[in-house]
Amino acid sequence: MATIGPFTETTFVRTHADLPVSLDRGAAVPLTTQLADWLRGAMLSGTLAPGERLPSSRGLAAQLAVSRTVVTEAYQQLYAEGWLEGRHGSGTFVAAIGRAGHHPPRKDPAYAPPPPPPPRRTDGRMIDLTPGEPWVLDYDRAAWKRAWRKAADLPPGAAPDPYGLPYLRELLADHLRRARGVAVGPENVLVTRGTGNGLDLCALALLGPGARAGVEDPGYHVARTVFAARGAEVVPCPVDEDGVIVDDLPDDLRVLYTTPAHQYPLGGRLPIPRRERLLTWARRTGATIVEDDYDAEFRYDVAPLPALYGLDPSRVVLLGTLSKALAPDVGVGWLVAEPALVDRVAALREKVSDRTSGPVQQAVATLLERGDLDRHLRRMRLEYARRRAVVVEVLGRVCRLRGDTAGLHVLAELPLDAVSRVVAAARERGVLLDSTERHHHGRQRLHGLVIGYGSASVADVRRGCAILAGLIGESIGSDAQRELST
């Protein structure tokens, strides 16, 4: 209610769909909650249709005569629940969420409405919840075009620098100091085409025929493939819910590949005491640790742990990539090491005619220089936080989730005999899933589904997880469900 002297009146506003929104200033319920509830009800009833554009937060706040914070917080709540979606440069829109059988989210963790029968897709389109791909449909087109225009202004290079463009190396060193807290200069940085290329360069410089290379198990299959292709003997190194098990590491490894920031695929964060033990092991054995920092930019509810490289640069090579932060198609990453090893890698790289595209490097340099990449990362952290919140809300009721504090995927634990049934049934209903099976090199210790939420829209993540939750309930039964969700 808007107060005018001794009188009160209901405040109405017309949205882009010409709908009246009413807020009661005299009610005990906060205005933000009232607005979110009103919009949620309009979307549930179909009054606000999927794809409909909502007013800007500034415009709606002015029309309602409320603080802009009231509107932005209401929008953010609905974003997190999957009701709204943003389109860069266009505004806020109603997400394409199915209405039939949909229950509004509840804050009470004990609340669990009876799941409706898992719906079958009828439009022929699959919802992809497999891991590994980011959301590439929302980016700053003006910044992207500006970066490529700048790159096009420069003449093509005749002899590519095996280290990468000097100016880009400086910018990446600055980015790593700010983003990962590692004190490096351009002399520590070599520009790669991404993680796979960085792994191959490490194998070229550090391994040889018959050398033993450790890879986390379960772990990133590309690391196993690259090391084996260079003639190394690949040794599976067991991990638990926190990461690689240091006490199980053999002493004759020349290289150990690890993902300590967000173990792939189980999602663990290697604790500081275990990081110290890992570095002690490397100093004692003379092994080199190859640290893959593949999605360190995305954290939810937790502060990032320091990179291993920053704790001991003499024993660690740090690999990074823009494939998750920007897009896999960009094809730019980095290898960070002591200058002597960087020089060695660059010399070997030149001998095998390996290079990173000059124009692509120029474009990335412009994105970094102007702050466009930082702005994109801030925007995507919010986008992925919304998707992650949906996954935790929907699947956290029916199974135990691991690795939900970071990255673009979580592990949903299931009994071994249920995994293949759920994967097959989900595909029939239009949802693509990945299991832990293909990520193992040795004996499986943990079983479940690796749920990727990076490449699907918020609406599809919610719809796919709702289908999956119903299938898990059907497959493992209520007793096992309660056990797995605790």
| Nearest C-alpha neighbor of 201 from the set 353, 70, 314 | 353
CA distances from 366 to 41, 169, 271, 369 (A): 44, 12, 36, 5
Hey, CA dihedral for 365, 366, 370, 372, is it positive or negative? negative
How far apart CA 44 and CA 36 sit, in angstroms, is 12
Specify whether the backbone of 114 is left (phi greater than 0), alpha (psi in -120 to 50) or beta. beta
How far apart CA 361 and CA 371 sit, in angstroms, is 15
| Nearest C-alpha neighbor of 315 from the set 278, 265, 264 | 278
The pLDDT assigned to 80 comes to: 66
CA distances from 133 to 129, 195, 311, 325 (A): 10, 14, 30, 10
Counting every residue written for the chain, the total comes to 486
CA distances from 117 to 314, 468, 470 (A): 56, 11, 7
CA dihedral 262→268→273→275, nearest 10 degrees, is: -40
**Do β-strands 255-258 and 212-217 pair in parallel, antiparallel, or remain unpaired?**
parallel
Q: Given 3.40.640.10, 1.10.10.10, 1.20.1250.20, 3.40.50.300, which CATH number is that of 2-94? A: 1.10.10.10
At 9, the amino acid letter reads: E
Is residue 365 within 8 Å of residue 167, measured between CB atoms?
yes
Angle between helices 458-485 and 416-428 (to 10 degrees): 160
Question: To which residue do tokens 């006490």 refer?
Answer: 247
3-state secondary structure of 217: strand
Spatial CB neighbours of 217, under 8 Å, sequence gap ≥ 6: 236, 237, 238, 239, 440, 441, 442
Give me the architecture of the 127-138+375-485 domain, per CATH. Answer: Alpha-Beta Complex (3.90)
**Over the stretch 25-56, which tens digit does the pLDDT of each residue have?**
888 888 888 888 888 887 876 778 888 888 88
| Nearest C-alpha neighbor of 415 from the set 429, 435, 395, 430 | 435
Read off the pTM: 0.74
Which residues on neighbouring strands pair with residue 70, listed in sequence order?
A: none
The pLDDT assigned to 480 comes to: 53
- Weakly modelled stretches of the chain, pLDDT under 70: 1-19, 45, 80-81, 87-89, 96-124, 477-486
How far apart CA 288 and CA 32 sit, in angstroms, is 53
How far apart CA 279 and CA 262 sit, in angstroms, is 18
Q: Euclidean distance between the first and final Cα of the chain, in Å?
A: 44
The pLDDT assigned to 41 comes to: 80
| Rg of the chain in Å (alpha carbons) | 25
The pLDDT assigned to 485 comes to: 54
Which alpha helices (DSSP H) does 120-190 contain, by range? Answer: 141-152, 166-180
Q: For residue 246, how many other CB atoms are within 10 A of its CB?
A: 19
Q: Where are the domains of the chain?
A: 2-94, 127-138+375-485, 141-373
Spatial CB neighbours of 190, under 8 Å, sequence gap ≥ 6: 162, 163, 164, 169, 201, 334, 335, 336, 337, 342, 345, 346, 349
How far apart CA 142 and CA 152 sit, in angstroms, is 15
Instruction: Provide the 8-state DSSP code for 304.
Output: P
Instruction: Provide the 8-state DSSP code for 121.
Output: P
CATH top-level class for 141-373? alpha beta
**Over the stretch 288-343, which tens digit does the pLDDT of each residue have?**
999 999 887 888 877 777 889 999 999 999 999 999 899 999 999 999 999 999 99
Q: How many CA atoms lie within 13 A of 91 on its CB side?
A: 13
Residue 233 backbone dihedrals phi, psi, to 5 degrees? -90, 115
The pLDDT assigned to 81 comes to: 66
CA distances from 145 to 140, 152, 323, 328, 367 (A): 9, 10, 19, 18, 10
